[in-house]
Amino acid sequence: MKILIVNPNSDQEMTDLIQKSAKAFAKDEYDVTCFPTPGAPKFIETYEDQVNAASGMIQIIKENEAAYDAFIVACHCDPNLDVIKEISNKPVVGIGEASMKIASMLGHKFSVITTSPHSIPMKEAQIRKYHLEDYLASVRAPSDQLADADEDTKYLETARTAIKEDMAEVIVLGCAGLSGMDKHIQKALNVPVLDGVICALIFAAGFVRYEISTSKACRYNPSLS
């Protein structure tokens, strides 16, 4: 089984980080490769960044449709996920959708930890898109008081606040760039902490093995248009 992870940005460092997390999880059970997106921004922060990643992402999918068994979109805002579900006949999983739907199965409510306050309303809109708004405890970015803390402390303390103040029972890492922080926070806070890349692999590998994929009944079938 071969799974292709599309990193919607063009950053090689983040691509390597994602690939490392993914390989550590996949072990020898299946092949997993992460590609950066040619022509995409270095980081996906705005709606414009998202559409600027689209043509590169589409190109990757079309060139690799035959060679891979499933595709993962590895940015937590799931940019262009509907497009990729539409153009591919293979299973397609977004790390945002994957992590938040798993979160809804592991506890009463979840919080998403993001890198900046700017993404809070965007994340809320995305959560509503997946009908998960009533499972949401909060979306939180590190507070100003944490400005000088190291990265690990920043997100650990933000998660701790979500648990204490918002009664979050599950923590979702709201950015692919936080990949690898999950177990550290999970051990410290004793609640499940979800890295979207791993969550997406669980679905993608499962869908391939189960031979299911996006329905082509109507919404995601371009040939019906």
Site for a second copy in 130-159 (CB under 8 A): 130-135
Q: Which of residues 163-222 bind a second copy (CB under 8 A)?
A: 163, 167-170, 183, 186, 190-194, 198-199, 201-203, 205-207, 209-222
DSSP 106-172: HSS-EEEE-S-TTHHHHHHHHHHHTT-GGGEEEEE---GGGTTS-HHHHHHHHHHHHHHHH--SEEE
Please identify which residue in the block is written with the tokens 């994340």: 123
Among 11, 69, 78, 97, the residue binding a second copy under the rule CB under 8 A is 97
58 binds a second copy (CB under 8 A): yes
The site that binds a second copy (CB under 8 A) totals a number of residues, namely 82
Q: Which of residues 75-94 bind a second copy (CB under 8 A)?
A: 80, 82-83, 85-87, 93
Query: Could you tell me which of 97, 51, 40, 47 has the C-alpha nearest to residue 73?
Result: 97
Among 48, 63, 151, 165, the residue binding a second copy under the rule CB under 8 A is 48
- Those residues with Cβ within 8 angstroms of residue 195's Cβ, 6 or more apart along the chain or in another chain: 21, 99, 173, 178, 179, 180, 181, 182
SS3 category, 14: helix
Distance (Å, whole) CA 99 – CA 91: 16
Among 63, 121, 153, 184, the residue binding a second copy under the rule CB under 8 A is 121
Region from 67-75, 114-122, 148-156, 173-181 binding a second copy, contact rule CB under 8 A: 114-122
CB of 154 to a second copy, least distance (A): 17
- Write each residue from 1 to 20 as x if it is in contact with a second copy (CB under 8 A), else as -, in one continuous string: --------------------
30 binds a second copy (CB under 8 A): no
